[in-house]
Each structure stands twice: as structure tokens, then as C-alpha cells.
Structure 1
Amino acid sequence: MAENDKLSEKDIALDLLSSSKASIGTLAKALTETTNPELRKTLKNQLTACINSHHRLSDIAVSKGWYNAYGNPQQQLQSELGEISSVTQ
């Protein structure tokens, strides 16, 4: 594998964030659709753990400058377009 083909820590962190968001959505949906009290408790605990993990990962990504959660939307869009341009060149 060439040096340029390796995933960076940023790539991994952002992929984990994306996956975490999907898991949170899936767990939330499942939680709202179940009526079994034991299953609801299990799903609720899992959802809470997933949200807490997502929060910690988000904090890391923000602190390292990999995810600009607080910038205005125009700045975020320009940053993303700049990254896309560098990848396609």
C-alpha cells in the first residue's frame, strides 16, 4: 500500500463519528418501536453508551481541528470543498 493510500487519524475519527451517528439513529428508532420492557431497557442503556462515546469522539475531533462544529455554514462548506479539491487533484 502506498503512503498516500493510508488512512489518517482524521479519516478514521470522522468515519467513526459517521458510524456512531448511524448507530444512534438506529438505536433510537428501535427504542421507539419496541414494547418489551427488558428490551427497551437494554436499548436505552446501549443508546446512552453510544451517545456518550459519540460525545467523547466529537470532543477529540473538535480539539484536533478535524471537525469544525462551531464555524458558520459557509466556512464549513468552503473547508469541505477545499478538501475535496485536494483529493481529486
Structure 2
Amino acid sequence: MTSFLGNKVKQNTDINDEVIADNLMASAKAAANAYLNASLISTTPELRSMYSSSLSQVMSGHAALSELALKRGWAKPYDSPTQQLSSEYSKSKFVVRTEG
């Protein structure tokens, strides 16, 4: 039964390395924001140091993922804004939901 359900999920899921990298970068952005806020409002130098260290680690991970995205051609930061929007739009999928 689990293999049947697993196969059904795989058939309906469009996931690849680019999607995984995008999700990891979005998660790293959220974590960096949380650590930055925590370090700014820390009441003790020890906490501030701990949060700042974690922030540096998250930023290093994000930088590595960004380099990977550039190397693989998933991110094209030097394209015009119009081209970037057009590219992202063509990647997107629209789901029409009907309510009955």
C-alpha cells in the first residue's frame, strides 16, 4: 500500500534540484532573518554572539546555494527585469480549483 501511495505522490509532484535549491534558499532567508532579529534584541553579549555565529553559518550556506544556482544556470541575476519576470512566469503553473 505504501508503494502505491508513494508512486501516486511521485506522479503528481514536479520536483527537481532547482526546486529543492529554491526552497532551501527561501528557508535560509527566513532563518537569517530570525537570527538577525534575535541577535539585535539579545539582552546579553553571550546570546548576541551565539545568534550572530548562527547567522554567519546560515549566510554561508545561502551563499553556497546561490553559487550553485548561478553555476547550474537556475539563477540569472544579470538578465533584464522583464526577462527575469518572463522566465519565472513561464516556470509557474496555474491550478484551477473547482468547488462543488
TM-score after normalising by structure 2? 0.78
**2:32 equivalent in structure 1:** 24
Cα distance 1:3–1:26, how it changes in 2: closer, same or farther (>3 A)?
same
Task: Report the CA distance between 1:88 and its aligned residue.
Answer: 3.1
What CA distance in whole angstroms lies between the structure 2 residues aligned with 1:56 and 1:78?
Answer: 26
**Unaligned runs of at least 5 residues, structure 2:** 1-8, 96-100
**Unaligned runs of at least 5 residues, structure 1:** none
CA RMSD in angstroms, aligned pairs only: 1.6
Cα distance 1:66–1:4, how it changes in 2: closer, same or farther (>3 A)?
farther
SS of the aligned residue for 1:11 comes to helix
Identity score, percent: 31
Q: How many residues align?
A: 87
Q: Does 1:88 align with 2:94?
A: yes
The structure whose Rg is larger is 2
Moved over 4 A (4+): none
Amino acid at match of 2:18: K
Q: Does 1:55 align with 2:63?
A: yes
SS of the aligned residue for 1:88 comes to coil
What CA distance in whole angstroms lies between the structure 2 residues aligned with 1:58 and 1:21?
Answer: 11
Task: Report the CA distance between 1:70 and its aligned residue.
Answer: 2.4
Q: How does 1:1-89 map to 2 (within 5 A)?
A: 1-3=9-11, 5-84=13-92, 87-88=93-94
TM-score after normalising by structure 1? 0.87
What CA distance in whole angstroms lies between the structure 2 residues aligned with 1:66 and 1:50?
Answer: 21
Amino acid at match of 2:61: S
Amino acid at match of 1:66: W
Structure with the larger helix share: 1
Q: Whose RCO is larger (CA < 8 A, sep 6+)? A: 1
